[in-house]
Amino acid sequence: MAMKSPDSDSQVSRSEEIEAFAQFKASSPHLDAPGGAVTGSPSDSSREAFQSSLLTERYRLRTGLATPALLNTTGSSSVADSPVLSSIPSMIAGPAASRERRPTILVVDDEPLYLRLIADILGNDFRILVADEGMTGMEIAATHVPQLILLDLMMPVIDGFEVYRCLKADPRTREIPVIFITGIGDVVTETKGLRMGAVDYINKPINPDLVKARVNTQINLKLMRDKLLLLAVTDGLTGLANRFHFDGMLAYEYARHLRSGEELALIMLDIDQFKAFNDAYGHLNGDECLRKIAKALTKAVSRCTDLVARYGGEEFVVLLPDTSLRGAVIIAERIRNCISDLALPSKDACAGFVTASLGVVSGRFLKGSSIVDVLAETDIQLYRAKAGGRNRVAFRALEKSAPMH
Ligand code: GH3
Ligand code: MG
Ligand code: MG
């Protein structure tokens, strides 16, 4: 693996250099959150796939321009965006959106009567958003990400199946369960919808008790699934992302950076002489110390695309997409200072308080290079920081031009 060091000793603790880095960083353009790519639609023919992608594209364009209508108690001005909504603003009862804790359900139906009816049936238990046509429905779904969508099959311009395809082709709405509402009620149509992935059907004319029962079941499943998904990616002790999530995100960001050619930075952190801390103060205090350090780490990174994770034991990692070595070293120094500033006493540690050592790498990667090499090099830098006396940052730039093996 071809690497180069940015300076002769690779040790950073000079305040002037940090200041210069800070100025450099302040002058760099701000990072936007990455937009997810549409990976295709689950259409059953190429014509449908083409139509879906066209619709998705139109929908995306419109999403950037239009604020979707939100129906609430106060009858906000956005309600007037839709003739259907403006006629039924008082239908939804409940607290203001900002204090809203009830699950959200989006109802998409071209018939105002049914929007009214369903909102009446479910309005006491759920926050209800409505749309009188598919395009608006998709916009609202992407912006508000409801827990469930009730989607009418028979609508003019874009029917429910097509709206469903677009919802499933969009990463922002892909995971939202959909119940179809249909007046057709034949086996072929219902089977088609269920095969596409709809979670259930509601038949017109609507039976309120049946609607409530079906909706409650699906909302409970969705909430439970969301909770499990969150648990699967969270470290139980610190609340940070866990190793599993970090590995997935590293692979994703690495692949993205292979394509974009932008720099990707990684920080690996290990608490110094933490065994001594545990021995002196006990494991419960050790756990509390890890939680405090996790909080400090979260505070030290600012971009929404940065990921802080617990790598294992008393080791943490920070993934910094689109970040130069200079930027990453500034952040590593900030983290190191935040941890020192906690001033957690550790009588047997060299410094007398809890400190950490950090290894940093950043680089542009070529096809054929390996993510394992990046991790291994970050680890090497971490142990250089340890060997250099602990409570410090060591770093290295990964060579841009030479492929790694
Ligand atoms: P070094 O400066 O070389 O990193 O020394 P160290 O003592 O930190 O490293 P070592 O690998 O010898 O010990 C790591 C310690 O971290 C030992 C283990 O008890 C502690 N540790 C790991 N995970 C946890 C945890 O979840 N809770 C607590 N309280 N301690 C933990
Ligand atoms: Mg360790
Ligand atoms: Mg340690």
Q: Do domains 3-231 and 243-397 have the same CATH topology?
A: no
Q: What is the pLDDT of residues 294-341, one digit of tens each?
A: 999 999 998 999 999 999 999 999 999 999 999 999 999 999 999 999
Give the residue among 91, 85, 97, 104 at the shortest CA–CA distance from 145. 104
Whether 219 and 126 have beta carbons less than 8 Å apart is answered as: yes
Which atom belonging to ligand 1 lies closest to the Cα atom of 277?
7
- Burial class, 392, CB count within 10 angstroms (exposed 0-12 / middle 13-18 / buried 19+): buried
Q: What is the pLDDT of residues 38-93, one digit of tens each?
A: 222 223 333 333 333 333 333 333 333 222 333 332 333 232 233 333 333 223 32
Q: What residue's CA is closest to ligand 1, atom 24?
A: 313
Provide CATH code, domain 3-231: 3.40.50.2300
Q: 309 CB under 6 A from ligand 1? A: no
* Stretch among 11-25, 109-123, 198-212, 365-379 having the lowest mean pLDDT: 11-25
Per-residue pLDDT at 370:
86
Residue that is written with structure tokens 């992407």 in the block = 142
pLDDT tier at 99 (50, 70, 90 boundaries)?
low
pLDDT tier at 187 (50, 70, 90 boundaries)?
very high
314 is catalytic: yes
**DSSP secondary structure, 66-115, as one string:** -PPP---TT--GGGGGSHHHHT-GGG--SS-GGG--SPEEEEE-S-HHHH
Q: Please give the structure tokens belonging to residue 282.
A: 């006990």
**DSSP secondary structure, 241-287, as one string:** B-HHHHHHHHHHHHHHHHHH---EEEEEEEETTHHHHHHHH-HHHHH
- Percent residues over pLDDT 90 in the chain: 66
Q: What is the pLDDT of residues 271-304, one digit of tens each?
A: 999 999 999 999 999 999 999 999 999 999 989 9
- Residue spans per domain, the chain: 3-231, 243-397
Q: 386 CB under 6 A from ligand 1? A: yes
Whether 120 and 91 have beta carbons less than 8 Å apart is answered as: yes
State the chain's mean pLDDT as an integer: 79
Supply the pTM of this predicted model: 0.70
pLDDT tier at 400 (50, 70, 90 boundaries)?
low
**Ligand 3 center to residue 272 CA distance, Å?**
4
Region 219-227: what's the mean pLDDT? 97
Q: What residue's CA is closest to ligand 1, atom 27?
A: 287
Per-residue pLDDT at 9:
38
Q: 349 CB under 6 A from ligand 1? A: no
Residue 7 has pLDDT above 80, yes or no: no
Per-residue pLDDT at 398:
86
Domain 243-397 has CATH 3.30.70.270: yes
Q: Please give the structure tokens belonging to residue 204.
A: 């017109």
Whether 133 and 111 have beta carbons less than 8 Å apart is answered as: no
Q: What residue's CA is closest to ligand 1, atom 15?
A: 275
Per-residue pLDDT at 112:
94
Give the residue among 233, 5, 211, 1 at the shortest CA–CA distance from 117. 211
Q: 235 CB under 6 A from ligand 1? A: no
User: What are the Cα distances from residue 394, in Å, to 63, 128, 313?
Assistant: 44, 53, 21
Residue 367 has pLDDT above 60, yes or no: yes
Residue 125 has pLDDT above 50, yes or no: yes
pLDDT tier at 366 (50, 70, 90 boundaries)?
confident
Alpha-carbon distance of 267 to 315, in angstroms, equals: 11
Higher pLDDT, 401 or 203: 203
Region 149-173: what's the mean pLDDT? 96
Q: What residue's CA is closest to ligand 1, atom 14?
A: 275
Reply yes or no: is the peptide bond before residue 29 cis, omega within 30 of 0: no
